[in-house]
Chain A
C-alpha cells in the first residue's frame, strides 16, 4: 500500500514539475515578446511624429523622415499584389472548382507551389536579380522588386484562397447548377462572395509578408532613398531602410527605431485584421 501511495505522490510531483516547466517556458516567451515591443516603443516613440512620416530622409536618413520610403514601399507592394493576386486566385479557383483534386495537372501545380513556398527569400532575391533586373533589363527598380515579391506571394495567396473556396459548402454548387446557373455565374454570384472573408484574410497575410520582406528586395528594388518618379526608378522599402540605417549609417539608430516601430505597428494591425477575418468565418460556420 505504501508503495502505491509512493508512486502516486511521485506522479503528482512529476506532474507539478512538468506544469511548472511549461508555464516557465510560456512566461519566458511572452516576456521576450513584450521586451521586444517595449524596446521598440521606448526607442522609437520620441522620434516618431507627423513630420517624420511626411518628410523625405536627409543626411542618409539620420534626419528628415520616411515619406519617400513609404511611397516606394507602397509602390512595390501594389506592383506585387496586382501581379500576384490575379495569378494566385485564378489558380486557386481552377484547382478547387474545375480540376479534380487528384488530376495530374492539379497535382503538378500544387507540387510546384508547395516547393515555391519553401524557397528562402534570399534565393528569390538572387532569381529576381538575374531574371527581372538583368535578363529582362528592368534594372534595380520598383518594378523588379515588386515582381520578385509577386513570385514570393504566389504560394500563400493561392493556398489561403484554396482553403477559403474549399470551405464553401458543396450544396451551394449543386443548388446553383440545379437552378441552371452557368458555372461562371455560380462562381461570381455565389461562391466567391461566400469565400470573400478568407480571400481578404489571405490578401492581408500576403500584404504582411510583403511588407516584412528585406532579403528579396536587397538587390532587386535597390537602395535609393529619394522619391521615386516612376516604377522603373529604384526605391527603398521600409524594411530595407531599417536594415540600412542600423548597419551602414552610424548614428542612424533613432530613425531606425522609429521606422521599426512604424513597420511593426502596421504589421500588427494587418495581421490582427487578417486573423479577425479568418476567425470570423469559423464562427459563422459554427452558427449555421
Chain B
C-alpha cells in the first residue's frame, strides 16, 4: 500500500508540472509584453503611421491583415478539397483505396512546415514569378498554407462522417435517395458540428503557422492590393525580428505573440464547445 501512496504522489507531481506549463507560458508572455502594454496605449498598435519599430512606430494592423488574408485564402481552398477528400474516404472509395488515401493524408500532415516552405520557395515562387512577378506573394503563402491545413480538415471531417450512425444512411438509402442526396441531406447535416470544429482547428493552425509562410510570402509590411503582392504575417514578423529586438520593440513582439495566442485560444475554445455539443 505504501508503494501505491508513493506512486500517486509521484504521479500528482508530474500532472501538476504538466498543468503548470501553460500557466508559465501565459505569465512569461504577459511579463515580457508588460513594458509595451503599460507605457504604450493599445490604440497605438492600430493607429501608428507604420511598422518602424526602431523609430517607435508600432502599427500591427498590416501584419494582422496579412495573417487574416492568408488564413482566409487557405481556408477557401482547403475546406472544399478537405471535405471532398473525407467524402472520398467514407463514401466513394473502395476500402483498400480509402485506407491508402487516408495514410497519404496522414503522411502529408507529418511533413514539416519548413519543407513545405522550401518546396514553395524553390517550385511555387518561380512559377508564380513567371506568371506575375515578384512571385513571393500572398498567393504563394495561401497555396502553401492550404496544403498544410488540408490534412486537419480532412481527418476531422472523416472522423465526424465516419461517426454518422449506419442506421441513418441505410434509412436514406431505403427511401431511394441518390448518393449525393444521402450525403447532402443526411450525412453532412449529421456530421456538421464535427466538421465545423475541424475547420475552426484548421483556422487556428493557419493563424499560427510561421516558417512556411515566412519563406514564401515575401515579408513586406503592407496591405496587399492583389494576390501577387508580398505580405508579412504576425507570426513571420515575430520570427524575423525577435533575434535582434530590444526594449519596447521586443515587448511589442511579445504583445503580438500574446495576441496570436489569445486568438487561437478563443478559436480552440469554440472548437471544444462544438465537440462537447456533438457528444451531448
Which residues of A does B touch, CB under 8 Å?
A: 11-12, 14-15, 18-19, 21-23, 25-26, 28-30, 32-33, 35-36, 39-40, 43, 86-91, 93-95, 98, 105, 108-109, 112-127, 129-131, 135, 151, 154, 158, 182-185, 187, 208, 211-215, 218-219, 239-240, 242-243, 246-247, 253, 256-257, 260, 263-264, 267-268, 270-272, 275
Q: Give Cα A139–Cα B28 distance, bound, in whole angstroms.
A: 16
Stretch among B4-12, B48-56, B158-166 lining the A interface: B4-12
- Asked if B81 CB lies within 8 Å of chain A CBs, one says yes
Q: Do A256 and B235 touch (CB < 8 A)? A: no
Q: Give Cα A213–Cα B85 distance, bound, in whole angstroms.
A: 26
Q: Do A25 and B181 touch (CB < 8 A)? A: no
- Asked if B66 CB lies within 8 Å of chain A CBs, one says no
CB closest residue in chain A, given B242: A219
Q: Give Cα A218–Cα B209 distance, bound, in whole angstroms.
A: 14
Nearest CB of A to B68, in Å: 15
Q: Do A114 and B268 touch (CB < 8 A)? A: yes
**Which residues of A lie under 8 Å from residue B4 when comparing CB positions?**
182-184
Q: Do A151 and B180 touch (CB < 8 A)? A: no
Nearest CB of B to A150, in Å: 9
Q: Do B10 and A90 touch (CB < 8 A)? A: yes
Q: Do A184 and B3 touch (CB < 8 A)? A: yes
- Asked if B168 CB lies within 8 Å of chain A CBs, one says no
CB closest residue in chain B, given A12: B178
Nearest CB of A to B216, in Å: 10
- If A123-B257, A126-B242, A126-B254 touch, whether A260 touches B115 (CB-CB below 8 Å) is yes
Q: Do B238 and A98 touch (CB < 8 A)? A: no
List CB contacts (< 8 Å) of B21-54 with chain A.
Answer: 21-25, 28-29, 31-32
Q: Give Cα A264–Cα B116 distance, bound, in whole angstroms.
A: 10
**Which residues of A lie under 8 Å from residue B238 when comparing CB positions?**
122, 125-126
Q: Do B32 and A126 touch (CB < 8 A)? A: yes
**Which residues of B lie under 8 Å from residue A256 when comparing CB positions?**
118
By secondary structure, the B interface counts as helix
Q: Do B8 and A15 touch (CB < 8 A)? A: no
**Which residues of B lie under 8 Å from residue A29 when comparing CB positions?**
81, 85, 105, 108, 150
**Which residues of B lie under 8 Å from residue A264 when comparing CB positions?**
111-112, 115
- If A14-B178, A242-B118 touch, whether A211 touches B112 (CB-CB below 8 Å) is yes
- Asked if B76 CB lies within 8 Å of chain A CBs, one says no
Please, could you name 27 A-B residue pairs with CB atoms under 8 Å apart, sorted by A? A21-B84, A22-B87, A26-B101, A29-B108, A39-B119, A39-B123, A88-B14, A90-B15, A109-B15, A112-B21, A117-B268, A118-B267, A122-B235, A122-B239, A126-B242, A182-B4, A185-B3, A208-B110, A214-B211, A215-B210, A243-B215, A246-B118, A246-B122, A257-B122, A260-B115, A264-B112, A268-B110
- Chain A CB within 10 Å — which of B25, B238, B254 has the most? B25
Nearest CB of A to B88, in Å: 5
Nearest first, the 6 A-B pairs at minimum CB distance are: A120-B208, A90-B14, A212-B112, A25-B84, A94-B11, A118-B268
- Asked if B175 CB lies within 8 Å of chain A CBs, one says no
- If A118-B264, A120-B260, A121-B208 touch, whether A253 touches B122 (CB-CB below 8 Å) is yes
Residue of A15, A35, A108, A275 near B106 (CB, 8 A) is A275
**Which residues of A lie under 8 Å from residue B204 when comparing CB positions?**
118
Q: Do B122 and A43 touch (CB < 8 A)? A: yes
- Asked if B220 CB lies within 8 Å of chain A CBs, one says no
Which residues of B does A touch, CB under 8 Å?
A: 1, 3-4, 7-8, 10-15, 17-25, 28-29, 31-32, 80-81, 84-85, 87-88, 92-93, 101, 103-108, 110-119, 121-123, 147, 150, 178-181, 183, 204, 207-211, 215, 235, 238-239, 242-243, 253-254, 257, 260-261, 264-265, 267-268, 272
Q: Give Cα A246–Cα B268 distance, bound, in whole angstroms.
A: 33
**Which residues of B lie under 8 Å from residue A268 when comparing CB positions?**
107, 110
**Which residues of A lie under 8 Å from residue B28 when comparing CB positions?**
127, 130-131, 135
- If A119-B25, A126-B242, A253-B122 touch, whether A212 touches B113 (CB-CB below 8 Å) is yes
- Chain B CB within 10 Å — which of A11, A215, A242 has the most? A215
Q: Do B19 and A108 touch (CB < 8 A)? A: yes
Q: Do B111 and A94 touch (CB < 8 A)? A: no
Residue of A185, A187, A243 near B117 (CB, 8 A) is A243
Q: Do B25 and A127 touch (CB < 8 A)? A: yes
Q: Do B23 and A267 touch (CB < 8 A)? A: no
Q: Do A260 and B118 touch (CB < 8 A)? A: yes
**Which residues of B lie under 8 Å from residue A86 when comparing CB positions?**
14
- If A119-B264, A182-B1, A246-B215 touch, whether A30 touches B18 (CB-CB below 8 Å) is no
Q: Do B268 and A98 touch (CB < 8 A)? A: no
Residue of A154, A184, A247, A257 near B7 (CB, 8 A) is A184
Q: Give Cα A242–Cα B230 distance, bound, in whole angstroms.
A: 22
